[in-house]
Amino acid sequence: MHHTTSPPYRTSSPHRFSTPPFSLRAYAQLLRLPNVFTALADICLGWLGALAAGMPVSRWPSFICLMGASAALYSAGMVWNDFFDLEQDRRERPFRPLPSGRIARRNAARLGVALLAAGIGFAALASPFQASAPWSALLLVVCLIAAILLYDAWLKRTWLGPVAMGTCRFLNILLGLSCAEATSLGWPARIYLASVVGLYIVGVTWFARTEARVSNQSQLRAAAGVMATALVLALATPLWSIGGTSSVLFPYLLVGLGFLVGIPAAQAIAEPTPGHVQRTVKRAIVGLVVLDAALATALCGMLGLMILVLLLPLLYLGQWIYST
């Protein structure tokens, strides 16, 4: 079956086409703007963990730069996702900005390159403020760019797709932690925190793999099991806190997240239609901010709840801009 679309952007010549008119909403949809705040939550988790481990507050310029790098790279990943998925989206998601013609593919490519360059630039700016490992942020950003492009261009269509996406989140958490002193927050703690979030995203990505059509119930059960495993592993986070600063709210936040994602997941497994699966994926994406906040409360106490503020723009923008 061939899908055709009427060319809405003609010039006066019947054989030439003009660039689609600029649409702010179309670009916001291309970038999955609400989801950018989940990437920022990862950086906030890393930053608060570094503060709890004794990092001086005077390194706040590094935090601003790392936030910029993470937002730019997440947005770039969304752009390249749609760039490489154009033919599939013409069949399954014709409403997206590229297949609908609201954004030209070449313009998306230019934006994707610019965002990757911005991510590198922000990481370079952060480097002078990272005393213990000045170039760690730049190195992590280079690794993150490689992971993003590998996922979008190739790995997404293989069984390694969820693992590749989880690796992107794993590296994003490490990016947030790159400003911490190695002597106060060592690599075992960093790898542990990043692994919890990365594993959660492996499960979310696996759950979402066939969200545009009826999903396989066994696959959904396995994916939900991966997400649940990540939450169970997260229970050990207070072991890495410095000076016993964990909040008593930590386990309750994890339980709340379990219900937040578990209830729609159970409904999707019972009736694996696109609507139920997509609803679960959206809830799980929102849940990532809650997970980051919960982990932060285990490291630095009540201060970690500040991450939940990022839910406000995420939920507000999500009323008009799709997130999957």
Q: Does position 265 have pLDDT exceeding 50, yes or no?
A: yes
pLDDT digits (tens, 9 = 90+) for 238-257: 988 776 678 899 999 999 99
Average pLDDT, the chain: 89
Give ∠ CA 111-8-75 in degrees, rounded to 5: 20
pLDDT of residue 191: 94
Residue 21's contacts (CB-CB under 8 Å, 6 or more residues apart) are 9
Which CATH number does the domain housing residue 190 bear?
Answer: 1.10.357.140
Residue 305 lies in a domain: yes
Residue 190 lies in a domain: yes
CB of 116 closer than 8 Å to CB of 76: yes
Q: Which helix (H) or strand (E) holds 56?
A: none
Residue 228 lies in a domain: yes
pLDDT of residue 16: 39
Residue 154, domain extent:
28-317
- If one counts the domains in the chain, the total is 1
pLDDT digits (tens, 9 = 90+) for 100-138: 999 999 999 999 999 999 999 999 998 776 656 667 889
Residue 191 lies in a domain: yes
Rg value, the chain, Cα: 20
Residue 7 lies in a domain: no
Residue 35 lies in a domain: yes
Task: Select from 144, 143, 165 the least CA-distant residue to 154.
Answer: 165
Residue 16 lies in a domain: no
Give ∠ CA 196-198-202 in degrees, rounded to 5: 115
Residue 292 lies in a domain: yes
How far CA 228 is from CA of 219, 225, 292, in Å, comes to: 14, 5, 15
pLDDT digits (tens, 9 = 90+) for 175-206: 998 887 665 678 888 999 999 999 999 999 99
